[in-house]
Amino acid sequence: MNKILIAVDDTKGSKNVLGVFQNLVRPPQEVLLLHVQRLEGRSLMIDMLSDSELSTLKESLQGTDHKEKLDRHSEKVLNYYRKEFENSGLFNIRTIIREGIPADEILKVADEEKVDLIVVGSNGKRGLNRLITGCVSYEVERNASVPVIVEKPETREVVHGIKGVSPQLA
Amino acid sequence: MNKVLISAGNVRGSEEILSSMDNVVTSPEAVILLHVQQLVGNSTMTAMMSYSEIETLKESIEGTEHKEALDRRAEEVLTHYKKALENRGMTNIKCVIRAGHPADEILKVAEEEKVDLIVVGCSGKSRFRKFATGCASSDLEKKSTIRVLITKSNGCGKHSHLWGRSAYAL
């Protein structure tokens, strides 16, 4: 495998990607670390903006304090993950910062760079929270044209049944 | 112990799953091949049934021609996968046949066997068909506590994504 795209942000769920090469997955020749800056609110809010609205938003943010803060933040996140991956013996790492709709940007970068695999973390959002705030891993899984690994937290409460009904109750 | 669970739904999707076993996954110590029999209709239908209903259904079709046809098909699919994996030099392969709701059964077996990775194919269904017939890969992505690798075939991830976005914007 040549190129892997790993999408990271500052959430706890994202940290799960660090374990990805520990077993079973073949380490690649090149790793692309991508952080997508969320210009406004939750991912569902930005979903509702059209492309032109989004580019207006991008322009209006240029040079403001808010944008500088976002940039510093991205640097911090990417440096953290770069260091962690370097500690585990991966050195060919390229970092990319994009702005806009996270799932869209991840898919765009995957297309442009012709990666062989996308790795995303899952924050384990469920139910209403997932519906309201949107879920990047789902969007990526649905719309990618290359294989996707969704990394899960080490331990979490297990719920069976489509609505979380336990077998005894059903 | 590095264990991989492969969801062997049908022969059609096997190419992608097997090629990602070559490219993405380092040779595992044990492979579990799971085929889930769809007792009735599609997975939206089984998702709406309670566990007791599914149990009754299982009993009622015991010994019928329908069940025999399902068994034959399961054998066929599993042998296809097993042969292909054996050609790749994997020897520790266990075949499991279950009946019920696909995503639930996959998760149950994954837990019982304590696997480290679930490999599942993408159905390539459109948004509407997914809604109408259900989709194991997105159910898994949502509910699994184990990392999931979703493989893609040609033509996956091209449908309705942008259309969905513009519909939001309108």
Please, what are the domains in chain B?
A: 3-169 (3.40.50.620)
pLDDT in tens, B111-139: 999 898 888 887 666 666 666 666 777 77
Query: Is the four-CA dihedral B80, B149, B70, B75 of positive or negative sign?
Result: positive
| Domain span at A18 | 3-151
What's residue A14's pLDDT?
Answer: 81
Domains identified in chain A, total number: 1
Helix B14-23 and helix B65-87, axial crossing angle in degrees, nearest 10 = 30
How far is residue A122's CA from residue A119's CA, in Å, rounded to a whole number? 10
Among candidate residues B166, B152, B156, the one with its CA nearest the CA of residue B15? B152
How far is residue B32's CA from residue B17's CA, in Å, rounded to a whole number? 13
pLDDT in tens, B17-57: 888 888 888 878 899 999 988 877 777 777 777 888 888 88
Give the three-class secondary structure for A1.
coil
How far is residue A46's CA from residue A75's CA, in Å, rounded to a whole number? 22
The predicted model scores a pTM of 0.77
For chain A, say whether B157 makes contact (Cβ under 8 Å).
yes
Residue reference for tokens 């990666």:
A115
Task: Say whether B107 and A161 touch across the interface (CB within 8 A).
Answer: no
How far is residue A73's CA from residue A71's CA, in Å, rounded to a whole number? 5
Supply the ipTM of this predicted assembly.
0.72
CATH, residue A65: 3.40.50.620
Flag whether A161 is in a domain. no
Flag whether A169 is in a domain. no
Chain A residues whose CB is inside 8 A of the B148 CB are 149-150, 152
pLDDT in tens, A28-48: 889 999 998 877 666 566 667
Of A25, A101, A170, the CB nearest to B50: A170
Flag whether A157 is in a domain. no
pLDDT in tens, A107-150: 999 999 999 899 988 776 666 666 666 677 777 877 888 888 88
